[in-house]
Amino acid sequence: MQELKERILKEGRNLGGGILKVDSFLNHQIDPGLMVRLGEELARRLAHTQPTKVLTAETSGIAPALATAAVLGIPVVFARKHAPLTMDYTIVSENAKSRTHGNLVELMVSTEYLRPPDRVLIIDDFLATAQTIEALARLVAKVNARLVGIGTVIEKQFERGRVNLGHVDVPIISLAVITSMDDGRIIFE
């Protein structure tokens, strides 16, 4: 998606070590117009999977997941990192290592909102090592729902996340694929 690539080049910051800061439009401050267009594109490219729910991880995945779910006309569920007092129903959980925080994060979903008949589309902000997406896929499996697709805004191909997801037999769509961030530059596929 050309608009996304241009925003990454204009506003994104390569912090080294494979870390891309896109806080000005995706991860801290959110550009709602861009988010709507990203959701439209993800929905267009993944509608054929006929999802009944969109699943993401708290918090950076919520905006693109919500935009995609809104276009598809289906609910979005986000895996929480901290259980609120109101989460008194049955939950399933999985751990994932956070790429940006460097620690293990527990992701929890209520079985009240993710169930066996659901056809689940995972939407996230980044596909890097795929640890978060892997954890979300395991949550889908734990509740006996069906994973039907994966969509991400930005893929850092050099971190081999797509390769790590090779055992997952569903469409995987990324709107901008970065092949290299060496020497402070950002190179797209």
pLDDT-derived band at 171, boundaries 50, 70, 90: very high
Of the two residues 148 and 89, the one the predictor is more confident about is 148
Residue 30 in any domain: the answer is: no
- What is the distance in angstroms between the CA of the first residue and the CA of the last residue of the chain? 11
Residue 115 in any domain: the answer is: yes
What span, in angstroms and rounded, lies between the C-alpha atoms of 171 and 118?
17
Give residue for tokens 């008194």: 88
Task: State which residues form the domain around 170.
Answer: 38-176
Which contiguous run of DSSP H or E holds residue 21? Answer: strand 19-21
Q: What residues are paired with 150 via a beta bridge?
A: 122, 172
pLDDT of residue 172: 98
Which tokens hold the place of 174?
Answer: 């990324």
Residue 98 pLDDT > 80: no
Residue 76 in any domain: the answer is: yes
pLDDT of residue 100: 66
Number of CB atoms found within 10 A of residue 36's CB: 16
CATH number of the domain at 136, please: 3.40.50.2020
Of the two residues 139 and 101, the one the predictor is more confident about is 139
Q: Count structural domains, the chain.
A: 1
What span, in angstroms and rounded, lies between the C-alpha atoms of 122 and 113?
14
The model carries a pTM of 0.95
Residue 33 in any domain: the answer is: no
| 12-26 mean pLDDT | 94
| 160-174 mean pLDDT | 96
pLDDT of residue 103: 83
pLDDT of residue 57: 95
Residue 27 in any domain: the answer is: no
pLDDT of residue 87: 64
Residue 67 in any domain: the answer is: yes
Residue 84 pLDDT > 90: no
Give the three-state DSSP class for 146: strand
Residue 110 in any domain: the answer is: yes
Residue 153 in any domain: the answer is: yes
Residue 60 sits at the vertex; the CA angle it makes with 124 and 5, to the nearest 5 degrees, is: 65
Which tokens hold the place of 130?
Answer: 């795929």
